[in-house]
Amino acid sequence: MEITVSGRRIEITDMIREYAENKVKKLPRYFDRIGAIEVIVDRRDNHSYDVEIIVKAEHVDPFVGSCVGNDVYACVDDVVEKLERRLTDHKGRLRDRKRKRDDRFVEDRITLKNSPYFESTKTMRLSDCVIDKAIVPQLASTQRDKVITELIDALVDAGALTKSLRDELIKMIVNREKEGSTGFGKGVAVPHAKHMKIKKMVAAIGVSQQGLDFNALDKAPVYSVVLLLSPKDKPDEHLQVMENIFVNLQNDTFRRFLRQATDLDAVTGLLQEADAQQLQG
């Protein structure tokens, strides 16, 4: 973590620098994604101090706190206390959001298994929705939003998605990721969206050799991405395919071979094996 202490109209003494650094070093206890902290001390004309602390963290706007007073050390203490509360509140909101997302996932699985539609669709295969021409064994992009764009473009180029929906779907999926990551851990992510103008469920698969920052729940890089688009008026079918995807991605062998795949034949062969095992099971 990088810490900088700078001054405006004031010389930062070693004592001020050391005091500020020691105080802000405690902030990662309250939120562990902090990458840099900047402390700015401004000496005002009336000889008071304006202390501003900027905390920069991953995937969130900077946290900023300030205080004006006659004692620079007291101002540092005041701002750090404010930021401790804000970071704690933010972490709590993230925890609540994750809990709600996990609860929704469990509810979706229960709803699916209790649905009369489930019996008629439980043999739906991955190959029924994954578009071969939208399989990208070596993703060119290294950033989450660009990977989503690359996979949407692959579906458009394959003729599986109308180009007029491209920008809207990219925005929908990216916004959904900002609300809560579909990187469920173990190196996989399943970004998805439902839209009224989509008539048939389609999926694209992307594999990254170097790994992607998807803000996954386990904070690990993502190597395999399955992007799913579903008709909005077919929620049961969407849930069933999501269940099928999760079951396979939870399988260590499937996940390992998908990550190691470097060409189209390797991915399609893996999907065929998974479908065959599903039908046998």
SS (H, E, C) the chain: CEEEEEEECCCCCHHHHHHHHHHHCCHHHCCCCEEEEEEEEEECCCCCEEEEEEEEECCCCCEEEEEEECCHHHHHHHHHHHHHHHHHHHHHHHHHHHHHHHHHHHHHHHHHHHCHHHHHHCCCCHHHCEEEEEEECCCCCCEHHHHHHHHHHHHHHCCCCCHHHHHHHHHHHHHHHHHCCCEEECCEECCEEEECCCCCCEEEEEEEEEEEECCCCCCCCEEEEEEEEEECCCHHHHHHHHHHHHHHHCCHHHHHHHHHCCCHHHHHHHHHHHHHHHHHC
Residue 101 lies in a domain: no
**38 and 130 both lie in a single domain:** no
**88 and 205 both lie in a single domain:** no
Residue 83 lies in a domain: yes
Query: What's the chain's average pLDDT?
Result: 86
Neighbouring C-beta atoms of residue 126, cutoff 10 Å: 22
pLDDT above 70 coverage of the chain, percent: 89
**172 and 220 both lie in a single domain:** yes
State the pLDDT at residue 62.
87
pTM score, whole prediction: 0.59
179's CB contacts (< 8 A; 6+ apart) are: 97
**pLDDT over 70 at 83, yes or no:** yes
Judged by phi (left if over 0) then psi (alpha if -120 to 50, else beta), residue 219 lies in left
Q: What is the pLDDT of residues 144-195, one digit of tens each?
A: 999 999 999 999 999 999 999 999 999 999 998 888 888 888 899 999 999 9
CATH of the domain at 84: 3.30.160.100
Across 92-106, 113-127, 263-277, least confident range: 113-127
Residue 127 lies in a domain: yes
Residue 108 lies in a domain: no
**pLDDT over 70 at 26, yes or no:** yes
**Average pLDDT in the 90-97 region?**
79
Residue 110 lies in a domain: no
CATH of the domain at 149: 3.40.930.10
**31 and 160 both lie in a single domain:** no
- Side chain identity at residue 183, one-letter code: G
Q: What is the pLDDT of residues 224-274, one digit of tens each?
A: 999 999 998 888 788 888 888 888 888 899 999 999 998 999 999 999 888
**181 and 240 both lie in a single domain:** yes
**Average pLDDT in the 104-132 region?**
60
**222 and 139 both lie in a single domain:** yes
**pLDDT over 80 at 278, yes or no:** no
**189 and 131 both lie in a single domain:** yes
Q: Per the structure, how many domains does the chain have?
A: 2
Q: What is the span of the domain harbouring residue 13?
A: 2-93
Residue 169 lies in a domain: yes
**145 and 243 both lie in a single domain:** yes
Known catalytic residues are: 192
Cα–Cα distance, 273 to 9 (Å, whole number): 69
Of residues 216 and 140, the one with the higher pLDDT is 140
